[in-house]
Amino acid sequence: MKQLCSLTITDRPEVSSNVYARIFNQAKNLIDLRFCDTPSRYALYPGFSETTSFVFPALRSLEISSREIVAHRLSFLQCLTAPCLDQLTIRHSGYHLGHCCTDIKAFLQRSNTALSSLTLHQFSDERGSQVSGDLIAILRVLPTITSFRIDSCLFNLDELLEKMVYSSYQGSALLLPKLTHFEISYEKDIENWPWKLTEMIFSRADAAEKGEVAETPDWGSTEISRLQKVTLHGLNGPDKDIARISSLLGLGFIYKKEQDSESKSLIGFADAPEEKKEEEDEDKEEGDEEEDEDEDDDDDEENMFNDPYWSSDS
């Protein structure tokens, strides 16, 4: 058990918390842990309570459902601590979103980990715009995130994206200042293009180029990173926005409508001008070589007529 590095818990294992305690307390080298979704709203894990606590000192990747543990209004996140966690995937599964976000925030603060990757799946709530407010509170404590993915998005992104736009007057309030990879996917095409998306992408590129910094509550000053890759699935974007984003040098841009059979990779790399310059230099060198050859030919022709052997007197 001490050598166990990866563990996936599937379906609904109706075993006591003592079984989990024996496994988890011995699996000190566990690196990857997955709690797969179950069909019902509640997961049956008897014996769990608010005093249940498991610490994973080596855990790097965690995929977990936000599902409520029946009869306790308790989620697994309330029972876990992972100080070395790097990648976190949360699947929203009917548990009240407000409670879910509170649990996520408490878990992250308790673990005090420098998370680099966060994936949120099917986050939705009947409160509508409040979804973004709850997520903003979570992202406030995650300034080290470099990869952020919202999968099967079911809420309006405008409020969230507005907080991700860099501007000099709210630099200290910027969400995810180290973000380099951003992905949004919808289960079906939507017509409402997030109105702050294009501005967010370009504002970060401009801030990174100028060397701007953002102040974070627990991590101090940090330089703002430019986005390296943006992936959009299920969005019907305006042509002018798509063209503008795809023209941004250094950004890998993947855009796919749900009905499209293939993604459209619209990529502008930062080294493109250098490649073009190299091609121009090569063309220039070839042109210079041709000119040199022409000059050599002219010289040869001139020398031929100046050579005594070819003189008219001979």
Whether 210 and 286 share a structural domain: no
Mean pLDDT of 81-103: 80
When pLDDT is cut at 50, 70 and 90, the band that residue 303 belongs to is very low
Residue entry with tokens 């080298």: 29
Residue 278 lies in a domain: yes
Residue 199 pLDDT grade (very low, low, confident, very high; cuts 50, 70, 90): very high
- CATH (domain of 189): 3.80.10
| Domains in the chain, number | 2
Domain shared by 157 and 221, yes or no:
yes
Structure tokens at 89: 């995937």
Give yes or no: residues 247 and 305 share one domain: no
pLDDT tens digit string along 117-163?
999 887 765 554 466 777 888 888 889 999 999 887 767 788 889 99
- For all residues of the chain together, what is the average pLDDT? 75
Q: Looking at the structure, do residues 229 and 292 belong to the same domain, yes or no?
A: no
Nearest to 254 by CA among 270, 266, 238, 241: 266
Query: pTM of this prediction?
Result: 0.77
**How far is the first Cα of the chain from the last one, in angstroms, to the nearest whole number?**
102
pLDDT digits (tens, 9 = 90+) for 28-77: 899 999 877 555 545 555 556 677 788 999 999 999 875 555 445 667 78
Does 275 have pLDDT greater than 70?
Answer: no
Nearest to 37 by CA among 78, 6, 68: 68
pLDDT over 70 at 113, yes or no = yes
What's residue 257's pLDDT? 73
- What is the pLDDT averaged over residues 284-308? 49
Q: Is residue 1 one of the residues assigned to a domain?
A: no
Residues 217 and 256 in one domain: yes
List the helix and strand counts (H, then E) for the chain: 7, 17
Which spans in the chain are helix H? Answer: 17-26, 97-111, 130-139, 158-163, 197-210, 239-246, 272-306
3-class DSSP state of 91 = strand
3-state secondary structure of 226: coil
Structural domain boundaries, residue 305:
272-314
Q: Where are the alpha helices (DSSP H) in 49-196?
A: 97-111, 130-139, 158-163
